[in-house]
Amino acid sequence: MRKKAGLILFPKFFYFLLTVFLLVSLELPPSGLAQEYPTKTIQLIVPFPPGGSTDLTGRFVATYLSKKWGQTISVVNKPGAGGTTGVMFALRSKNDGYTMLMDVISAGTLNPAIEGKLPYKWDEPTLVARTNISPLVFFVKGDSHWRNLREVLEDVKKDPEKFTYGTSGLGGPSTFSIAQLLEAAGIDPTKVARVVLQGGAPTVTNVAGGHVDFASQNLSEVISMIQAKKIKGLAVTTPQRVKQLPDIPTSKEAGYPAYKLVGWNGIAGPANLPDYVIKKWDQGIREIMNDPAFVEDMERIGAPVSYMGPKDWKAVLEEEYKSAMKFAEKLGLRK
């Protein structure tokens, strides 16, 4: 008798608990009304592991916009394949504005230029707004006998095969900027040995240790070593000198204005993003650009803010993509 009672009571109780449970775990669906966007947590996909420059940028943007919109933006890291994994994840997500992408130059234009079989095209994601640029710095070993960029390039030109340079990855801004520079100096980039290292930090240490002769990396990666004189910066790729390292001439001042590639980060989303999403983010980013705290935070990580709206940005990127394609083929990188 007791057993039967148990059987009768239990299923009901069980279903009750289950229902309660489900309700607690469910997130209410978004209202879908444009004026009210965002009404729930937004996922900002960062296609790299935590701690890197794209990740930090994403976290800052997320923090400031969350405060402004009163809605959580949570950073989700989806690293892999040089950024491809994260981009693909974002592209495959619903285009309701609740999954956005913290894009970066390598995943945005450079990888598509190199990898013909990449699962996405450079213009597939919806481009919303650029958030910042990353100046690149050309540097050599701290106690090197080279005193400026011209001396380096002259030596290399005389005997290119004797020299090596390091890059932080196989096709990122470091590779392409060096290609720009060498070409401007009339040197065949394929003659100088390119050593592909894993990340900015090893590239810097390898130059500091003298294992490779020169490299071109993001500002944030080189500041402390330059200040400690373990490496010597000889040029920056931005049109003006960089605040944190005022002694380093611009590429134009150093005589090679063609060395001008800068990295960038920006917000993007899946294809066919609704207009109200684009507008909201565009406006939001423009607003935080005016927040001195945000500007300062970004400066600190070596990613000075540099807003550009969707249309202008797309045009710039198209240019960048074409130029990257050219170098990719010349360097024999394109597959």
Query: Which of 34, 201 has the CB closer to other proteins?
Result: 201
* Rounded Cα distance, 72 and 38, in Å: 9
User: DSSP strand E in 282-324: where?
Assistant: 305-308
Query: Which of 21, 31 has the CB closer to other proteins?
Result: 21
First to last CA, the chain: 75
Helix axis angle for 292-300 and 275-289, nearest 10°, is 80
Cβ 45 to other proteins shortest distance, Å:
9
* Rounded Cα distance, 53 and 315, in Å: 24
* Rounded Cα distance, 180 and 31, in Å: 49
* Rounded Cα distance, 78 and 58, in Å: 13
Is 212 among the residues that bind other proteins (CB under 8 A)? yes
Is 61 among the residues that bind other proteins (CB under 8 A)? no
Cβ 35 to other proteins shortest distance, Å:
24
What is the length of the chain? 335
Is 295 among the residues that bind other proteins (CB under 8 A)? no
CB 122 within 8 A of CB 321: yes
Residue of the chain from 156, 225, 242, 285 that contacts other proteins (CB under 8 A)? 225
Cβ 75 to other proteins shortest distance, Å:
8
Cβ 139 to other proteins shortest distance, Å:
14
User: DSSP strand E in 228-275: where?
Assistant: 231-236, 263-269
Tokens linked to 16: 């009750």
**Amino acid at site 312:** D
* Rounded Cα distance, 242 and 250, in Å: 8
Query: Which of 278, 331 has the CB closer to other proteins?
Result: 331
- Which parts of 70-109 interact with other proteins (CB under 8 A)? 74-82, 84-85, 88
* Residue 110 φ then ψ, to 5°: -75, -45
Quick note: the x/- pattern for other proteins over 123-162, rule CB under 8 A, is --------------------------------------x-
Query: Which of 230, 280 has the CB closer to other proteins?
Result: 230
**Amino acid at site 169:** G
**Amino acid at site 8:** I
Is 324 among the residues that bind other proteins (CB under 8 A)? no
Query: Which of 195, 258 has the CB closer to other proteins?
Result: 195
Query: Which of 105, 197 has the CB closer to other proteins?
Result: 197
Report the interface residues with other proteins, using CB under 8 A.
6, 10, 14, 17-18, 21-22, 25-27, 43, 49-52, 55-56, 59-60, 63, 74-82, 84-85, 88, 114-115, 117, 119, 161, 164, 169-171, 193-198, 201-202, 204-206, 208-212, 220, 223-225, 227-228, 230, 297, 300-301, 333, 335
